[in-house]
Amino acid sequence: MLVGCLRNSIWRSSRTPHFARTDSLGSSLFLADLPPPRNVSQQCSFSSRDSGDTPTAPEPASPKDAKPYKSYVRNTTILAQQRCEIQELPIVVCKIAEDEFISFVSNKSIRSPIANARNTSKNSQESIEEEMKINQKIEYCRSIKDVMTVLYNQNDANYGPNIAIRALEKILTVDKLLEWKDVESRQDFRLIINCIVYNAESKTILDLLKNLRSHLELPRTIDMLGNELVYRCAENALTIEECCDAIKVLTQCRRPEMAEKFWSGLADKEKLITERNIHFVFAMLPYLKISRRAVLAVLERRITMLWWQMAPSTAIEVMQSLVACKVSPFRVTQSMARWLNTNIHTVTEDELGAILEAFTNLSYSDAQIERGLERYMKAKGVKVTSQNLIITMLGHCQEFRLRNAHILNGCSEFLIANHALLEPSYFRAFFYPFGVLDFVPSNSIKFFDTINMLVDLHFAKIPPTDVIDIMFTFLCLERFPLNFVNRIFNPYFLDVLHAKTQPERMDIIRGKLKVFDTGLTLECADYDGPLLPRDHSAKAVFHDGRIKRIVNYIINDLEELAGGPECMTKFSVIQHLPVNSLYLVDVIFHPPGLVNKFTINTIKERSFLVAVLILLPEYYDSTGTYLGGSQVMRIRHLRRLGMKIVTLRFDTLHKLKIHPKELRQYLVERIKNAQEALPALKGNALRVIKSQAEIEVLRYVARVSSDAHKAVMKTIKPGMYEYQAEAEFLRHSYAVGGCRHVSYTCICGAGSNSAILHYGHAGSPNDYEIQDGAMCLFDMGANYGGYAADITCSFPANGKFTEDQKLIYNAVLAARDAVCGAAREGVSWIDMHLLANRVMLEELRKGQLLQGNVEEMIEAGLNAIFQPHGLGHFLGLDVHDVGGYLPNCPERSTRPGVNRLRTARTLKAGMYLTIEPGCYFIEPLLNKALADPKLSKFLVKENLMRFRNFGGVRIEDDVLITKTGIENFTLVPRTVEEIEAWMAN
């Protein structure tokens, strides 16, 4: 119910006569009986800034300036109730009969729309010509006095609104402020304004007000023109667009109280708001304060009926208006989200970016938006050209924790394809969201290589705070950018960081830098840290109040499960970690009587402390399934310190507060499923990183082994036995290279024997005759001074490849080349292995041995069928040298195809390894794949059958990892053409 009251706030009795109706807002109206407004005689008076005040009595009007009778408009306010909301809104009332008043919110017409009041005789040709002459005279005027003189000499018959408008425009162009000061007090100027007010069209009045925005020295003129627009709005004489223009121009003329009165004019014309003009009304919301909610209620109802018809430009204006107002009404944002999902393929990249940015600024996202972006990235992919759009998408995903694989993989593909065009200031925006969401793209090798390369090339151009965020992201994703450590912990960089960081952000950046240093110390075996000093001073740490309250609520259950109050401590920071809220442990279970539970030996004392972490809903992604990157890293670091981890979901604890029995069962279950501690750090593995002297020995033995392999390729021919190839290798290595020993029993498999991974042992001592056309796989390496070589060559015994042999050999060679091109410091060995598998399977698919999606093949484990071994191993004093799975290294994976790797470490300059992809046709494994529906769907059985007795192909090189790539110490023919040419000579 809407109740009206006078501005003096004196409430009227509801028993007095009244005028009531239901307005277009759907609420009932009640206007108390008002005293009759004071009517103004024939001239319209100037109003004051507060148009509700009683006007002063006008001066007597002369016959020349007599005008039609016009009721004076009075102000009041009403209380408007919509559902549960009550709001006080301004309206005006005017007298239309002796005992009848009409309110501004009424749609009752008082008079016909404004039209030119001049009679037909004035439209004669003679009148028009006379009017033009007068306008010409006004044009030649150089002062306000000259304009008034021209008008004074005219008779009433030729004094129309066009002349008055031209006169006012001329007066506004006279740049004499002293003349303006007193112009409003002149009777002849008031005649000009009266003529405009009573006879000019609404659009003309609006245009004049726009001109007056730069002439605020004429306040009474602005008031009078503004009041006329208010009056016409009450008469339903203004269109939707004119109402909107009036709100805007009156606000710009510093008359916001007048602009507020147009809300009911928009409400009365609700049904006239269409998809063509709705954005005009939305654009007025920033100009309204008091009546904004009332107008917004009208728009909410209309947009639910019009959203599907809106053009992209209209949608953008609607969203930008909401951003300007900092409001996000649910029905509007929901309708716009539906619009975006429906029209996702019709908008341009710039339009999509503008709309998505507006949603982000309004803190709104839903399934419609996510579905629309997913469809867009599936359709466009790398065809997207706007980096601003990709940044906006990633920012939206980060803000609302949308861990959508299709969107994020598409963004990573864009980064890889367009990295040369990116600005250094955008690197953080492209990379940081992946760390926040703990998402590793499917093309992780190229993705991390691209980021690493970009940061390396443009390090000096990237803002220092962005560099820290990028390093923090690497750490969250369990990548260790050791090549940047010296640059970051450089005094010059740290000075620039402190100088360019805002004081309020300094603590956050310092915290991330300490976490980066601590994380590398805990997780990276090759990091020579920590490099930063520990915190020795007391420091306040933020702890969420929700966690404190829920811990205090379940404290009794926790104490009982821990073994008593003496076995539990709340809210602690472990001594080994920096004082940071990320490392604040909510509850620690420890043995009773432990004097100092924080000074623990992380090597010997492991898994006897249990850390209980309360995980808030915002720690997870939008689905509540995956933890964010910082929380995953937090758990990983605590486990690395030797602590078991129990994670409790805050929302689950909150729901079970009223169910004590279920709550206790939940706690017991979570404690039973605690994550075990990870192996402790023991320092660097010295044998993994080769010294310069070791590198020279390894280079020599690799060269001797390469020459011995080439000698075998020259000697081999069909009819020879496998052991004869072995004998030639041993002879050449000793006779020419001085290598008395080999590093392992030589593997000389021909034909189907080449599919046996470690053939050549005592049970199969290289004793088969080599057949014509058989594929030879010779894996042999000399040993010199205790240092090993390990090289494998594959080639046809007769020196000429068949088409099938070329297919398999080139598939393995492509995998080897891909790894050699991608391997360098900072790259994960697991990523290298998967890269080799991915390339080889793709080549087999092109050769029509396989079908389907390669990523799905790897997910199903098909890569382990064709390559049932790891990509390579460390090489040095032993052919399978130590350092693969030390306590300070990543654990062995349980994933098929990866679990056979001899190491899962991140590569570092100075490491020496083999790169040995292979493809084998092993009968038991092929039978297993054909019998498994998950694997057989990828196999082209009719083509695969001809490879049953093919054997296998392996290409093995010995390489040294450098900061920028690899140095390959193996020097043998590798391509089909090189092998055939070498064996032919």
pLDDT value, residue 15: 24
Q: Report residue 79's pLDDT band, with 50, 70 and 90 as the boundaries.
A: confident
Residues 248 and 174 in one domain: yes
* pLDDT tens-digit readout, 158-188: 467 788 888 788 777 765 555 566 777 788 7
CATH number reported for the structural domain that contains residue 714 in this entry: 3.90.230.10
The verdict on residue 532 lying in a domain is: no
How far apart (Å, rounded) are the C-alpha atoms in residues 741 and 704?
12
Query: pLDDT class for 12, splitting at 50, 70, 90?
Result: very low
Query: Rounded distance, CA 329 to CA 322, Å?
Result: 9
Q: Is residue 898 part of a domain?
A: yes
Assigned token pair, 914: 């083999």
Q: Are residues 450 and 567 in the same domain?
A: no
Which of 22-31, 181-190, 497-506: highest mean pLDDT?
Answer: 497-506
Task: State whether 690 and 675 are in the same domain.
Answer: no
The confidence score (pLDDT) of residue 533 equals: 79
Query: Residue 567 pLDDT more than 70?
Result: yes
Q: Is residue 39 part of a domain?
A: no
Mean pLDDT score, 860-875: 92
Average confidence (pLDDT) over 626-642: 92
Question: For 272-426, where are the alpha helices, taking DSSP H only?
Answer: 278-283, 292-306, 312-325, 330-342, 349-361, 367-380, 387-400, 405-417
- 691 pLDDT above the threshold of 80: yes
Select from 477, 492, 523 the last residue of a domain.
523
pLDDT at 329 over 70: yes
In the 8-state DSSP scheme, what is residue 427?
Answer: H
- For the record, the structure tokens of 784 come out as 């010199």
**Which band of pLDDT confidence, cut at 50, 70 and 90, is reported for residue 527?**
confident
**Same domain assignment for residues 454 and 410:** yes
Q: Flag whether 774 is in a domain.
A: yes
CB 959 within 8 A of CB 479: no
Gap between the Cα atoms of 914 and 146, Å rounded: 99
- List the structure tokens of 544: 């969420």
Task: Answer whether residue 42 is part of any domain.
Answer: no
Among 680, 705, 726, give the residue marking a domain's end. 680
Shared domain check, 841 and 928: yes
Alpha-carbon span 2 to 264, nearest angstrom: 13
pLDDT of res. 154: 62
Domain annotation covers residue 905: yes
Give strand pairing partners of 102.
Answer: 94
Q: 787 has which bridge partners?
A: 784
Check the CA dihedral 501-503-505-510 and report its sign.
positive
DSSP annotation of 25 reads T
Q: Look-up: residue for tokens 């079970």?
A: 656
| Burial annotation 121-158 (CB, 10 A radius, 16+ → b, else e) | ebeeeebeebbeebbebbeebeebeebbebbeeeeeeb
What local confidence, expressed as pLDDT, does residue 149 receive? 74
What is the rounded average pLDDT of the residues 868-885?
A: 88
Split at pLDDT 50, 70, 90, the class of 114 is very low
Rounded to an integer, the average pLDDT of 675-704 is 81
Same domain flag for 396 and 509: yes
Tell which residue, 799, 753, 761, 812, has the closest CA to residue 954: 812
Of the listed ranges 10-24, 541-555, 670-684, 969-983, the one predicted with least confidence = 10-24
Tell the residue number behind the tokens 């339009």, with chain if given.
351
User: pLDDT digit string (tens) for 702-745?
Assistant: 999 999 999 999 999 999 999 999 999 999 999 999 999 999 99
Task: Specify if 782 maps to a domain.
Answer: yes
* pLDDT of the residue at 792: 96
Backbone angles phi, psi at 58, to 5 degrees: -70, 155
325 and 396 part of one domain: yes
**273 and 325 inside one domain:** no
Q: 809-855 pLDDT, tens per residue?
A: 999 999 999 999 999 998 999 999 999 999 999 999 999 999 999 98
* Residues 143 and 246 both lie in one domain: yes
State the pTM of this model: 0.64
What whole-number distance in Å separates Cα of residue 550 and Cα of residue 566? 20
Q: Is position 76 within any domain? A: no
| Strand pairing report for 782-784 and 787-788 | antiparallel
Looking up tokens 């066009």 gives 162
Cis peptide bond N-terminal to 441, omega within 30: no
Is residue 610 domain-shared with residue 636, that is, in the same domain? yes
The dihedral built from the CA positions of residue 739, 785, 702 and 750, taken in this order, carries a sign that is positive
Q: Summarize pLDDT for 28-78 with one digit per residue, the tens.
A: 333 333 333 333 322 333 333 334 433 343 443 333 443 443 444 456 777
DSSP label at residue 478: T
Question: Which of 680, 708, 732 corresponds to the end of one domain?
Answer: 680
- Distance, in Å, from the CA atom of 282 to the CA atom of 384, rounded to the nearest integer, reads 31
488 has a pLDDT exceeding 90: yes
Q: pLDDT band at 596, cuts 50/70/90?
A: very low
Domain limits for position 610: 545-680
What pLDDT sits at residue 16? 28
Co-location of 503 and 446 in the same domain: yes
Domain count of the fold of the chain: 4
| Under 8 Å between Cβ of 33 and 12 | yes
CA distance 18 to 31: 6
Same domain, yes or no: 901 and 970 = yes
